[in-house]
Amino acid sequence: MAKKKIKKPFFIFNPKSYLYGHDLEEMSKLAEILANKYPQVSVLLTAPFADISSVSQNVNSALISAQHIDGIKPGRGMGLILPESVKYAGASATFINHAEHPLTFDQIIQSIKRADELDLITIVCANSLEEAKAISALHPDIILCEPTELIGTGKISSEEYILNTNKVVKEISPQTLIMQGAGISTADDVFRVITLGADGTGCTSGITTSEDPRETFSEMVLACQRAIENKE
């Protein structure tokens, strides 16, 4: 099966370990509804490894992402995450080098290589302009430009950071999509970063800790749609 295509803009709801089991399954059903309601937007949902199989049964238009893979092949590797396993479970994408699961540069290279071999979409995290520049040379599908110090703070990246990282990544790897994700907590934040040139964005606590997570998720995907309509 060929690697699935990501449309611009895209939105990734990454519940981390806030949601699991039934609650996550319900969110996967909502992700599928939103993906069909806003067909110009790619909607992705990240799931813990143990939940990938169950939530993937609920989507067709929406995509499921693993939280991480290790750059290993079938064989030894007790406790590591085998890329073939997440692919078999139904994941179409994977995060690599998230701030909560950082990798060495050599490990990033190996994980991207294995993901490419299996046609998994690579979402590689970079916490600085310098790291974004280095990772761009590996030509991942998506680079998440997210200063670690802003994660979960509700403070989004400065306009200067967004514009500079967008420019640097595109100069080195024009086909790589840029995700700006730090501190996204409202639909207005989503609209702003897409309007500033990001190809996509995403959110965790802004959705999971809101009074109505389903409504907030829906509003953020709608904001992606509004942002592309505003550009036209």
Strand partners, 144: 125, 179
Higher pLDDT, 135 or 163: 135
Q: What would the pLDDT profile of 91-104 be if each residue is shown by its tens digit?
A: 999 999 998 999 99
Q: Which of 177, 86, 164, 102 is nearest to 136 (CA)?
A: 177
Is 80 exceeded by the pLDDT of residue 51? yes
**139 Ramachandran zone, left/alpha/beta (phi>0; psi -120 to 50):** left
Higher pLDDT, 99 or 45: 45
Is 90 exceeded by the pLDDT of residue 85? yes
Output the pLDDT for position 151: 47
Question: Residue 1 — pLDDT band, cuts 50, 70, 90?
Answer: low
Q: Kindly state the percentage of the chain with pLDDT values over 70.
A: 94
- Rounded alpha-carbon distances, angstroms, from residue 103 to 95, 176, 183, 218: 11, 20, 22, 32
Q: What would the pLDDT profile of 114-159 be if each residue is shown by its tens digit?
A: 999 999 999 999 988 889 999 999 999 999 987 654 444 445 567 7
Is 80 exceeded by the pLDDT of residue 87? yes
Is 90 exceeded by the pLDDT of residue 160? no
Main-chain phi, psi angles of 43, to 5 degrees: -110, 125
Span of 26-30, 39-43, 150-154, 208-212 with lowest mean pLDDT = 150-154
Per-residue pLDDT, averaged over 205-215, amounts to 96
Q: Which of 20, 29, 6, 21 is nearest to 202 (CA)?
A: 6
Q: Which of 229, 230, 178, 224 is nearest to 41 (CA)?
A: 224
* Distance (Å, whole) CA 52 – CA 66: 7
Q: Which domains does the chain have, with CATH numbers?
A: 10-230 (3.20.20.70)
Check if the beta carbon of residue 221 is closer than 8 Å to that of residue 11. yes
Tokens linked to 175 = 């086909």
Per-residue pLDDT, averaged over 51-63, amounts to 98
Among all residues, which ones are annotated catalytic?
A: 98, 146
Output the pLDDT for position 153: 45
Q: What would the pLDDT profile of 174-199 be if each residue is shown by its tens digit?
A: 999 999 876 789 999 999 999 989 99
Give the three-state DSSP class for 2.
coil
Q: What is the mean pLDDT of the chain?
A: 93
